[in-house]
Chains A and B, each alone.
Chain A
Amino acid sequence: MSVTVPPQFEVLDRPLDTQMTISMGPQHPSTHGVLRLELVLDGEMIVKCTPDIGYLHTGMEKLFEYKKYQQGIVITDRMDYLNPLGNNLAYVMAVEKLLGLEIPERAQVIRVLMCELQRIASHLVWLGTHALDIGAMTIFFYCFREREKILNLIEAASGGRLTPSYFRIGGLMMDLPAGFERRVQQFIDGFPAALKDFQNLLTGNTIFHRRTKGIGIVSAEDAIDLGLTGPSLRGSGVAIDVRRTNPYTGYETYDFEIPTEPNGDVWSRYMVRMREMHESWKITQQALDRLKPGPVKADAPKVVLPDREAMKTHMDALIHHFLIVAEGFNVPAGEVYHPIEASKGELGVYIKSDGGPKPARVHFRGPSFVNLSALPYMVNGEMLADVVAVIGSIDIVLGEIDR
Chain B
Amino acid sequence: MSIISDVIESTKAIIKGMGVTFSYIPKEKWTVEYPDEPVTVQPRYRGQHLLHVDEHGREKCVACFLCAAACPSDCIYIIAADDPRSPEERIGVDERYAKVYNIDYGRCIFCGFCVEACPKDAITHGYNFELSVYNRADLLKTKDDLLITKQKQSPNYRVAFADEDVDSEYKEV
Q: Which residues of A contact B (CB under 8 A)?
A: 67, 70-71, 74-75, 136, 138, 142, 145, 148-149, 152, 155-160, 163, 165, 173, 177-179, 182-183, 186-187, 197, 200-201, 204-208, 305, 311-312, 318, 321-322, 325-326
Contact = CB atoms under 8 A, between A and B. Distances in A.
Contacts of A312: 119
A205 B17 contact: yes
Contact of B72 (A67, A183, A200, A208): A67
A163 B16 contact: no
A178 B162 contact: yes
A142 B46 CA distance: 27
Given A156-B42, A163-B111, A165-B111, A177 B162 contact: yes
B10 A206 contact: yes
B13 A74 contact: no
A158 B12 CA distance: 44
20 contacts: A70-B113, A71-B72, A74-B111, A74-B113, A136-B17, A138-B17, A149-B167, A152-B167, A155-B41, A156-B166, A159-B44, A159-B112, A160-B111, A163-B110, A173-B112, A177-B42, A177-B44, A177-B163, A187-B167, A205-B17
Nearest to A74: B111
Contact of B167 (A70, A165, A183): A183
B35 interface: no
Interface in B75-107: none
Contacts of B21: 138
B140 interface: no
Interface in B45-75: 45-46, 65-66, 69-70, 72
Interface string B1-38: 00000100110111011011100000000100000000
Contact of B125 (A159, A182, A311, A325): A159
B109 interface: yes
Contact of A207 (B13, B46, B70, B111): B13
Given A325-B66, A326-B69, A158 B44 contact: yes
Given A159-B46, A325-B66, A205 B13 contact: yes
A182 B69 CA distance: 38
A155 B45 contact: yes
B167 A186 contact: yes
B119 A152 contact: no
B116 interface: yes
Contacts of A71: 70, 72, 113
A186 B46 contact: no
A322 B19 CA distance: 60
Contacts of B116: 173, 305, 325
A148 B30 contact: yes
B44 A155 contact: yes
A18 to B, nearest CB: 31
A152 B42 contact: yes
A156 B44 CA distance: 6
Contacts of A145: 30
A325 B69 contact: yes
Contacts of A142: 20
B13 A163 contact: no
A310 to B, nearest CB: 12
B147 interface: no
Nearest to B114: A325
A367 B131 CA distance: 34
B117 interface: yes
Nearest to B45: A159
Contacts of B10: 206-207
A76 to B, nearest CB: 11
B19 to A, nearest CB: 7
Contact of A159 (B13, B42, B165): B42
Given A71-B70, A152-B42, A157-B44, 18 more contacts: A71-B113, A74-B113, A145-B30, A152-B167, A159-B42, A173-B116, A177-B44, A179-B163, A183-B167, A187-B167, A200-B19, A200-B20, A204-B16, A205-B17, A207-B13, A305-B116, A325-B117, A326-B66
